[in-house]
Amino acid sequence: MESIISIKGLSKTYAEGFTALNNIDLEIQRGEIFALLGPNGAGKTTLISIICGIVNPSCGDVKVNGHNIQRDYRTARTEIGLVPQEIATDAFETVWAAVRFSRGLFGKAPDPAYLEKILRQLSLWEKKDNKIITLSGGMKRRLMIAKALSHEPNVLFLDEPTAGVDVELRQDMWRMVRGLRDSGVTVILTTHYIEEAEEMADRVGVINRGELVLVEEKHVLMKKMGEKELSLQLPEPLQEIPQILADLPLTLSSDGYQLVYRFDIKSEDTGLTEFLRRLNAANIEFRDLHTRESSLEEIFVNLVHGARLEREEQLSKEVQE
Amino acid sequence: MNWYGIGAIYKFEMSRTWRTLMQSIASPVLSTSLYFIVFGAAIGSRMGDIDGVSYGAFIIPGLVMLALLSESISNASFGIFFPKFSGTIYEVLSAPVSPFEIVAGYVGAAATKSMVLGLLILLTARFFVDYEILHPLWMLTFLALTAVTFSLFGFIIGIWADDFQKLQVIPLMIITPLTFLGGAFYSISMLPEAWQKITLFNPVVYLISGFRWAFYGVADVNLTLSISMTLLFFALCLMTVWWIFRTGYRIKT
C-alpha cells in the first residue's frame, strides 16, 4: 500500500532540554485509520503538531503525499486537516463564517455547496447562522471537524477527538470517521481511550516517552500479543488450588467458585489439553466455561509497563556499574 | 501567493470591527470629538494662532495622529494576541500561508480600520472647526504610512504579550505620552530650547510634524526628515517581524 505520510528520523527537543520525540520512523498508508496510542505526555500531540507545521522539528524528515513539510510546506499543508485536542474557536463568529474562514485560509476558492454538504453531514446546517458561543460542547467539536474538512484535505488528524464527549456523541463520531475513511480520507487519531482505537483503527502505533514502541495491524497486534482466559464456573467452591494444578497459570476467585486459566494464543502449545486432563484427574467438575481475549487496553498497559520495567532494569544496572 | 488566505484573515479581522462598531469606530470618534469641542471650539477660540493657523485647526493633525497610532496598535495587537490567547492560532500556523501573507492579512486589516477611523475623525472635525488640507495626497500618504507602520508595531506587541496587561502597557504607558508630548497640542518651537532638543528624540514628533505640514504647509521639522524617520521606524518593525517568524518567537516552539 502507498504511504501518504512518511516520517524518518524525527526528533524534537524543546528549548528547556525536554526530548518529546526521539528518532521516530513511521509510514501512514493512504486511506487507513491509524490510531496513535500513548499515555499523557508520550509525544502524540507533538508528533501531530510537527506534521501540521505548528511545532518545528529538531531533526528528521516528514513528507505528506511526497511533499516535504518544510521545503514544500504550502502543498503539504493543503493536504492536511487538523482537529486539535482543545476546542478553540472564535466564540462570537457564526458557524458559517468559521467554516468559510477555514476554507479561505487554506487557499481554496469559496464553495458554498461543499460547505453546506459538510455542515449537513455533521448535523450543523440548521445552526449555520448561530454564533459559536451558543452551540453545545458536542456541536462545537463537530464544528472543529467541519473546519478541518472545509478545504477538502486528504489527511485528517484528530487529536483526542472524543475526550470529554458523551457515549452517544462518541459513537456518532466513530461512524463519521469511518465514513470519512470510506470516502478516501486518511485518518490519524490520537487517543488514550483504547476502546476508540480498538473500535476504529486499521493499524495501531504505540508511543511512549517520545519513542514509537510498536506499529502493527490492530488484529495482528491483538493476535500476537493477546492473552486468552478460560474461566470455569465450579459447582462446589475450592478452598485452594489443588496440588496437581499448582504449577499451572491459574487463579482462584476469592469465593472459590471460579477458576481462571491464562494462556498465550500465539503459543503452539497452549497447555489447554494438559489443564483439562489434570482437572479430570483431580475430579474437579465445572458447570460452565467461557473464554475471553485480552483487550487492546491490556496489551497497551503491558507494553508501556514493559518498557518502564526495562528502563528501570537498565538504570539499576548502570547504578550498580 | 495565497490570496484567499490573505483575504480570509483580512475579512475575518474586518468583520470583528463591524461586530464591535461602537467600540472600534464610534467610541474613538466620540472621544476625539470631545477634544475638538473643548480645545477647538471652546478654549481654542480664546487662544492665539500658531504659525498662522487657528488653535482649533492646529490640533487636528495631532489628534488624528493620536487616534491613528493608538487604534493601529490596539487593532493589530489584539488581532494576533487573541488567537494566541484562545488557541485558534493553530489554524493559521497549520495553513499554507507564508509569514508575509499572515502579516498582510492582520496588519492590512488593522491599518484599514485605523485609516477609516482617521478619515472619519477628520470628517467629524469639520462640524466643529474650519481647516484646510494643502497637500491631500501627502496627507493620505502619511495617514497610510503611519497606519501600516504602527499596525506592524502593534502586531509585534501582540506577539510579545502573554497577558492582557502587557497588551495595554506600551500603548498606554509609552505611545499616548509620546503623542501628547510630540506636538499634538503645541508647536515644539514653543518649548524652551533644551526641551526642543530633547523632544527630537520622540519619534512621534516627526509623524505629527509631517502630517501637519500636509494640512497647513507648516512643520516643526523638515519634511524629508519626517518621512525618513517614519520609514526608518517602518523598516525596524519589518525587521522585527521577519525575526519573529524566522525564530518562531512566542508563536512556534
- Give percent helix, percent strand, percent coil of chain A, each to the nearest 5: 40, 25, 35
A277-321 residue pLDDT tens: 998 888 888 899 888 776 666 677 777 666 666 666 777 777 676
What mean pLDDT do residues B172-194 have? 85
A121-154 residue pLDDT tens: 888 999 999 999 999 888 898 899 999 999 999 9
- Does B93 contact chain A (CB < 8 Å)? yes
- Does B15 contact chain A (CB < 8 Å)? yes
Q: What is the dihedral of CA B242, B243, B244, B248, to 10 degrees?
A: 110
Min Cα–Cα distance to chain A from B89, Å? 9
A70-104 residue pLDDT tens: 999 999 999 999 999 888 888 889 999 999 999 99
Residues of B in contact with A109 (CB under 8 A): 4
Min Cα–Cα distance to chain A from B150, Å? 25
Q: How far apart are CA B118 and CA B141, in angstroms?
A: 13
* B94/A147 CB distance under 8 A: no
B65-99 residue pLDDT tens: 988 998 999 999 999 999 999 889 999 999 999 99
What pTM does this model have? 0.82
Which residue, among B9, B91, B249, B251, would best test binding to A if mutated, counting the most A CBs under 10 Å from its CB? B91
- Say if CB A277 and CB A211 are below 8 A apart: no
Q: How far apart are CA A199 and CA A111, in angstroms?
A: 34
Residues of B in contact with A108 (CB under 8 A): 4
Q: Is the dihedral of CA A199, A201, A206, A210 positive or negative?
A: negative
More confidently predicted of B170 and A166: B170
Q: What is the dihedral of CA B245, A56, A69, A99, to 10 degrees?
A: -70
Identify the pLDDT of residue A192. Answer: 72
- Does A92 contact chain B (CB < 8 Å)? yes
- Does the pLDDT at position B242 exceed 90? yes
Parallel, antiparallel or unpaired: strands A80-83 and A155-159: parallel
Scan residues 58-77 of A and list those with Cβ closer than 8 Å to B. 73-77
The proportion of chain A whose per-residue pLDDT surpasses 70, expressed as a percent, equals: 91
Beta bridge partners of A252: A259
Tally A–B CB contacts below 8 A.
83
- Does B247 contact chain A (CB < 8 Å)? no
What mean pLDDT do residues B148-154 have? 94
Identify the pLDDT of residue B56. Answer: 84
- Does the pLDDT at position B179 exceed 90? no
Q: In angstroms, what CA-CA distances link A299 with A28, A64, A197, A199, A304?
A: 22, 30, 12, 15, 9
Identify the pLDDT of residue B169. Answer: 86
Task: Specify the range with the lowest mean pLDDT, choosing from A12-26, A49-63, A222-236, B81-95.
Answer: A222-236
B100-140 residue pLDDT tens: 999 999 999 999 999 999 999 999 888 888 888 999 999 99
Residue of chain B minimizing CA distance to A131: B19
Sequence ranges of the domains in chain B: 3-247
Min Cα–Cα distance to chain A from B79, Å? 12
Of A118, A121, A99, residue with least CA distance to A110 = A99
- Say if CB B153 and CB B230 are below 8 A apart: no
Name the DSSP letter for residue B210.
H
- Does A321 contact chain B (CB < 8 Å)? no
Q: In angstroms, what CA-CA distances link A132 with A48, A91, A136, A199, B17?
A: 26, 5, 9, 30, 18
Q: How far apart are CA B39 and CA B34, in angstroms?
A: 8
Identify the pLDDT of residue A122. Answer: 86
Nearest-5° angle of CA A54, CA A60, CA A64?
Answer: 60
Task: List the end-to-end C-alpha distance of chain A, in Å, as a whole number.
Answer: 47
Which residue, among B78, B94, B97, would best test binding to A if mutated, counting the most A CBs under 10 Å from its CB? B94
Parallel, antiparallel or unpaired: strands A203-208 and A227-233: unpaired
Identify the pLDDT of residue A226. Answer: 65
Question: Amino acid letter at A49?
Answer: S
Residue of chain B minimizing CA distance to A48: B94
* B91/A102 CB distance under 8 A: yes
Residues of A in contact with B9 (CB under 8 A): 105
- Does B249 contact chain A (CB < 8 Å)? no
A69 φ, ψ (degrees, to nearest 5) = -70, -15
- Does A108 contact chain B (CB < 8 Å)? yes
Task: List the end-to-end C-alpha distance of chain B, in Å, as a whole number.
Answer: 25
Parallel, antiparallel or unpaired: strands A186-191 and A33-37: parallel
Average pLDDT along chain B: 89
More confidently predicted of A165 and B9: B9
Q: Could you identify the residue written with the cell 462545537?
A: A140
Domains in chain A with CATH codes? 3-223 (3.40.50.300), 227-293 (3.30.70)
Q: Which helix (H) or strand (E) holds A180?
A: helix A167-182
Which residue, among A69, A105, A188, would best test binding to B if mutated, counting the most B CBs under 10 Å from its CB? A105
Parallel, antiparallel or unpaired: strands A211-217 and A3-13: unpaired
Q: Which range scores top for mean pLDDT: A62-76, A167-181, A266-280, A298-312?
A: A62-76
Residue of chain A minimizing CA distance to B251: A54
Parallel, antiparallel or unpaired: strands A59-64 and A33-37: unpaired
- Does the pLDDT at position B141 exceed 70? yes
Identify the pLDDT of residue B45. Answer: 74
Identify the pLDDT of residue A10. Answer: 95
ipTM of the complex model:
0.85
Identify the pLDDT of residue A101. Answer: 95
Which three cell numbers mark A180? 470519512
Q: Which range scores top for mean pLDDT: A104-113, A183-192, B196-205?
A: A104-113
Identify the pLDDT of residue B25. Answer: 82
* A106/B9 CB distance under 8 A: no
